[in-house]
Amino acid sequence: MHLTRNRRALVFLVFVFVLAMPWAVTVAASGGSPPIPGDDWVVVVPVANMYSAPTEDSDVVSQALYGSTVIVLEDKPGWARIQTPDHYAGWLPLDQARRLSGSDPHYASSGKILQVSGLSANLYREPDVTAHRPVLTVPYETRLEFLSEGKGDGAGWFQVRLADGRAAWIDHDDVIVDPRPLSIDESIELGKGFLGITYTWGGRSSFGFDCSGFTQMLVRSRGINMPRDADQQAAWDGVAAIDRRHLRPGDLLFFGSAANHITHTGMFIGHGNFIHDTTYGHPGVKISRLKDQPWTNLLVICRRIK
């Protein structure tokens, strides 16, 4: 009887250990400490999906981009519900971020900053594209911390500190140094560079946007942090209502069955055209004419950024 009791205890301990393993492994991978509500964490994967529930079987509600600081709202084993800088919340797998300590400043928030200027950019362990596979491939707008400028064989390269503390190299031509806000015309030209990029529900990166994620990025390029979803953008206090007869390039367009049921957004670019990321026809970023169907009948709200 004594031996049987010991065996039962051993089986119970093994069972508890197996249940705890995924949580322990995830905590170790993310910096050795579990998330605490209110903590700042930094995203360490190129693009992290945010889910409506702590399971990858749930729908994607948004994305957090590489190097961005997120705030932990609550946690479950292997997951944290986080808030991104645009005040959007969703569940993130813990192994896709790491905890920032009190003495650890937010990544790429001060000093000399590099920003990826193309649709994507590769980072390498040395200033050479042929020696090894990329350490990381990141999307447009990724911000990186400058460490040094390459010399000799490394001329034409920047060394950067990654969000996980490692160092890597990136080609000069893949980044801009200390980026400045774009003008309206520059932001429109930027948008045209994404023509053909496929539509991705919940997407906020050049790997795939959804409609509001694309418009939000164009506005963000002008140094303005706008809400995430189309209905939130239309109701935002940073915009003013305008009549469609008075549209100017850079104005925001909102489509739906009614003003209180917005399902799509885009940006007016002049000459009766607008740029948007749509599922209509072939899904992706395209330029459409406002007078064409279905857009002319679906346009319910026009807004101009104050």
Confirm if 161 and 149 have CB atoms less than 8 A apart.
no
Q: Which is nearest to 207 in space by CA: 64, 83, 79?
A: 64
> Taken in order 15, 18, 23, 28, is the CA torsion positive or negative?
positive
Task: Catalogue the active-site residues.
Answer: 211, 264, 276
**71: CB partners within 8 A, 6+ apart:** 38, 39, 40, 41, 82, 83
Q: Which residue has the tokens 């004594």?
A: 2
Quick one: CA torsion of 187, 251, 259, 230, rounded to 10 degrees? 10
Mode of pairing for the β-strands spanning 89-93 and 97-99: unpaired
Buried b (16+ CB within 10 A) or exposed e, 139-162: bbbbbbbbbeebeeeeeebbbbbb
What does the alpha-carbon distance between residue 255 and residue 194 come to, in Å, rounded to a whole number? 21
**40: enclosing H helix or E strand:** strand 40-43
Kindly give the interhelix angle for 184-192 and 211-220, rounded to the nearest 10 degrees: 140
Both tokens assigned to 55 = 């399971």
Per the structure block, which two tokens stand in for 278?
Answer: 């749509």
